[in-house]
Structure 1
Amino acid sequence: MPLTQSDLQTARELKERLARLAPLLDFRVFGSRARGDAGSDSDMDVFVEFEVVDKALEARISEVAWEIGFQREVVIAPLVFSRYEVEKSPLRASPVLKAIAEEGLRI
C-alpha cells in the first residue's frame, strides 16, 4: 500500500468519524496519495459512498474532513456519492469513478 503511515491513520480516522454520520458503503483514498507520488502540499482525495446523501450530510462530511485535515495538516478533499449515483445514474460511467475503481485504495 503506497499510503504513508500518517496518511493511513488520517484516512482511518476520517472513515471512522464519517461512519458515525450515516451508513458508509465505501471509502477509498485515490489520487496522488494512493499512487504514492504525493508532494508535501498534495491534498488527500477521498471517495465516500453512502446509501443516501443530502445537503445536511454533505455539510457534516465537509466539517469532519476540515477538522481532521486541520489537526493533521493536510487538505482532505472528499468526493461524496450516493449508492444510486454510483450504481444507476449516468455518473457511474464517469472517468473519475472509473479511476477511483482502478486506483482507489479501500480503507
Structure 2
Amino acid sequence: MNERDFNIARELKGRLSGMVELLDFRIFGSRARGDADEYSDMDVFVEVERLDKNLKDMILDIAWDIGFHNLMVIAPLIFTRNELENTSLRASPIVNVIFAEGVQV
C-alpha cells in the first residue's frame, strides 16, 4: 500500500473510531496489494459489534465524504462480529481473502 492510500485509510479509520467501536479495520484488494491504478477504488473491511441501518448509513456517508475529497471511491464491506463468527460468512472466499491479504490500519 502506498503512503497516500495509507493516509486516506487512517483518516477514515480515525473518523469512524470517533463514532463507533471498530473491532477490525483493513484495506484489501488492489490498493492493499499495491497494484492499483488511479481509477481503482479502495476496498475497506469494517468489523463492528452491532450494526443497524443508521450506523451503516453513517459509515457509508463518511467513506463517501473522505473518498470525494480525495478523488477516490471508497467501498466499505461492513460486518458484525456475530456474522463473521456464527454464520456461513466465516467461510466466504472474500472474507478469507480479507484476512489473508488485508492490511490492518
Indicate whether the TM-score tops 0.5.
yes
Cα displacement (A) at 1:42: 0.1
Give me the identity figure in percent: 54
Cα displacement (A) at 1:19: 1.0
1:78 and 2:76 are equivalent in the alignment: yes
SS of 1:42's equivalent? coil
1:37 and 2:42 are equivalent in the alignment: no
Cα displacement (A) at 1:24: 0.5
Alignment of 1:96-107 (within 5 A): 96-107=94-105
Alignment partners' CA distance in 2, 1:6 and 1:43: 13
Partner of residue 59 from structure 2, selected from 58, 61, 68: 61
Alignment partners' CA distance in 2, 1:88 and 1:8: 31
Superposition TM-score, scaled by structure 2 size: 0.98
SS of 2:26's equivalent? strand
After superposition, give the CA deviation of every residue in 1:23-48 in whole Å (9 maximum; x if it has no partner).
10000000000111101100000000
Letter aligned with residue 56 of structure 1: N
Cα displacement (A) at 1:100: 0.2
Partner of residue 17 from structure 1, selected from 12, 15, 31: 15
Flag structure 1 segments of 5+ consecutive residues without an equivalent: none
Alignment partners' CA distance in 2, 1:41 and 1:22: 29
Letter aligned with residue 78 of structure 2: V
SS of 2:51's equivalent? coil
Letter aligned with residue 45 of structure 2: F
Superposition TM-score, scaled by structure 1 size: 0.96
Alignment partners' CA distance in 2, 1:81 and 1:14: 16
RMSD of Structure 2 on Structure 1 (CA): 0.6
Cα displacement (A) at 1:4: 1.1
